[in-house]
Amino acid sequence: MNFPSDRPATWFVTGTSRGLGLEMVVQLLERGDNVAATTRSAQRLTDALASHSVDTANLLVLEVDLRDQHAVDAAVAQTSERFSSLDVVVNNAGYGFLAAVEETSERAVRDMLDVQVVGVWNVLRATLPRLRAGGGGHIVNVSSVLGLVSIPGWGLYCAGKYALEGLSESLAGEVAGHGITVTIVEPGYFRTDFLSASLTLPEQTTDAYPTIRDMVATHLEMPGSQLGDPAKGAREIISNVVEGGTELRQILGSDSHAYATGKVASLTATLVATQDSAPRTDFAQA
């Protein structure tokens, strides 16, 4: 996209009351941009912003359940009415879930996918026509390194992020001709309250997975020691958009980079090992 230079850009950002989303709102307002910030709790976002010396004149706070298409449509319409433009869409809302696959209830699966996948789809359906009408834009889908790498105990979260990765890859090819750029952001562990306030645990567990119980305990003790600085993470995301970054993926954090590098090495080894056996299922060439 050609980032606007003659007016403030308008950003529609979901999941803004904590972590990377909150940092993005603060930094965007400091830039003088327009921000439509969605949250499940407007009061929580307002309280969080009160601790920052930032002018909120260009802020539109929208209390939205992203699972509700009508509510999302209304929020996007309010954004256009308030700012008369839409340039960047950031799908950041989400939460964590730690449990073995066997311990994950049907309700937990539906709730996670409703937020991580259906919610994003609702936002895309509401914003894409406006971006196309405006001649372009930038969509940022905040995934995770766990959208590339799977770890025991994170199965449900990985399922949602893997789905987001696939959706985003397809979307990037579909909208490129309309001047719309898509970026998938893959953060590692950031020093936010994601592993506390944004983490869900199963209602029931079994003693069949002691290593997962140990892993959960380790993660609950992790807040305050994560490598990632959320202020720096938000700055990198914003800079990538403003500078017209076109790479499909943006890796954030040395831990994320290490995990992704390991996944690529493992996949490469598999491709080398199967290069002779893979063609065996092809029809014989005449």
Q: Beta 96-97 vs 249-252: how paired, if at all?
A: unpaired
Query: Active-site positions?
Result: 143, 157, 161
Q: Based on the structure, what is the number of domains in the chain?
A: 1
**Identity of residue 229:** D
Q: How confident is the model at residue 11 (pLDDT cuts 50, 70, 90)?
A: very high
Confirm if 181 and 138 have CB atoms less than 8 A apart: yes
The answer to whether residue 18 sits within a structural domain is yes
pLDDT at residue 1 tops 80: no
Query: In which domain, by residue range, is 246 found?
Result: 10-274
Mean local confidence (pLDDT), 55-77: 97
Report the alpha-carbon distance of residue 82 to residue 215 in Å, rounded.
46
The answer to whether residue 221 sits within a structural domain is yes
The answer to whether residue 238 sits within a structural domain is yes
Q: How confident is the model at residue 27 (pLDDT cuts 50, 70, 90)?
A: very high
The answer to whether residue 1 sits within a structural domain is no
Measured in Å, how far apart are the chain's first and last C-alpha atoms? 47
3-state secondary structure of 138: strand
3-state secondary structure of 157: helix
CATH number at residue 165: 3.40.50.720
Report the alpha-carbon distance of residue 62 to residue 39 in Å, rounded.
6
What's the confidence (pLDDT) of residue 97?
A: 95
The answer to whether residue 286 sits within a structural domain is no
